Structure 1
């Protein structure tokens, strides 16, 4: 595993500066991104480009999102220290590490075994370890640990999963990309037991959210 050297830190600072110019204003989010060695989440073939604002292929036919997308979703989530955050789609673990860096108690689910195994190792190696990490079906969430202050979905859902809405605490926020081929970024705020407020924040492109097929 390559080290986090001065060159990587310099590139990271340039990435953070570029995210500022693109409208990311939350300084805590920017500091979190500045603290995480993104190149370690990528195949070494891409490490030279790790701090460009681009998505890259990772295992199991998935991608690591653009840093802007990670920053944008995280900014919408408005994470506060000690909040319980459910992440649907651990992927390589990069977004997970951003949430951990913000001081959240992170509960994360990944349905691709290859990615689950990879992310578990990398997060432990860089010491950004979530509170709970599991291999399973993101559509079901983690009812045992609910309710959650915040829920973040990092894959495109054809519709908003009702099980996840149930696991959001009153006053809590869910950020989720919704749509089939391209997605609308949605923020959902739970007002009370039965009512939710929803907002749209533009078009994005995510890999589809999948259910487990090994059951």
Structure 2
């Protein structure tokens, strides 16, 4: 790998994550390891480690590194857990979760992004992750329950199928908001059948499209 890309990635971790209270060592190590520049369009590679979301085509984006770190940390995941990701996109969030030692299941509704992510994962040797082309708001019932669920698009409500497919105990992290592109990032905990919700801050995600989304 070109030295400047590795240096940029290290700077990303130091300046965008560690300086903003991303402290989970598993998350930091994963984001030091995953080559983010391979998950963006060629024309954007020089900007891959900037503190910005970037377009990946089809009206979708790759989230800014801080948000990926924040959501990954919010999962409070440990190695070996199963995690369902809704919204594969470029595959970067899934790659970070994979590098954290999680068993990743990722659902994408746009065929071109689904195919590109699968191809890139194969090229990088990330062989254990599983992908599905479907309406992500329905989850992946055949693989449920999941120890953790993360949603990388914003909808007007919390999709009930995802809560149903969450293990007990389990954690679901997702952006929710009644206005498009303006959401609150929330962490839902399921414990002994009880559901609690914690707000983690304001975010702006692309639309969660599907039966239980927009």
TM-score, normalized by length of structure 1?
0.94
How much has 1:28 moved relative to structure 2? Answer: 1.1
Q: 1:130 to 1:184 in 2, by over 3 A?
A: farther
Normalised to the residue count of structure 2, the TM-score between the two structures is 0.94
- The aligned residue for residue 153 of structure 1 is 151
Secondary structure of the residue aligned to 1:189 is strand
Q: Residues 68-103 of structure 1: CA distance to partner in whole angstroms, max 9, x if unpaired?
A: 000000000012111010000111000000000000
1:130 Cα deviation from its structure 2 partner:
4.3
Q: Distance in 1 between matches of 2:125 and 2:76?
A: 23
Matched, 1:40 2:38: yes
Residues 79-90 of structure 1: pairs in structure 2 closer than 5 A: 79-90=77-88
Q: What residue in structure 1 maps to residue 135 of structure 2?
A: 137
- Give the one of 12, 15, 19 matched to 1:15: 12
Q: Which has the higher strand share?
A: 2
- 1:191 deviates by 1.7
User: In the alignment, is residue 185 of structure 1 matched against residue 182 of structure 2?
Assistant: no
Return the alpha-carbon distance in structure 1 between the equivalents of residues 208 and 62 of structure 2: 14
- Which runs of at least 4 in structure 1 moved beyond 6 Å after TM superposition? none
Deviation at 1:29, TM superposition (A): 0.5
Task: In structure 1, list runs of 5 or more residues that go unmatched.
Answer: none
- 1:203 maps to what in 2? 202
Unaligned runs of 5+ in 2: none
Structure 2 residue corresponding to 1:72, chosen from 48, 70, 73: 70
**In the alignment, does 2:115 pair up with 1:105?**
no
Check conservation: 1:59, 1:114, Cα contact below 8 A: no
Q: Which residue of 2 aligns with 1:96?
A: 94
Give the deviation of 1:49 after TM superposition: 1.0
Number of residue pairs aligned between Structure 1 and Structure 2 = 208
Separation of aligned partners in 2, 1:48 and 1:131: 27
Measure the CA separation in 1 of the matches of 2:48 and 2:80. Answer: 29
- Give, in whole Å, the separation in 1 of the partners of 2:13 and 2:87: 24
| Residues 108 and 130 in structure 1, CA contact (< 8 A), matched pair in contact too | no
Q: Counterparts of 2:13 and 2:29 in 1: how far apart (Å)?
A: 8
Aligned partner of 2:173 in structure 1 is: 175
RMSD, aligned α-carbons: 1.1
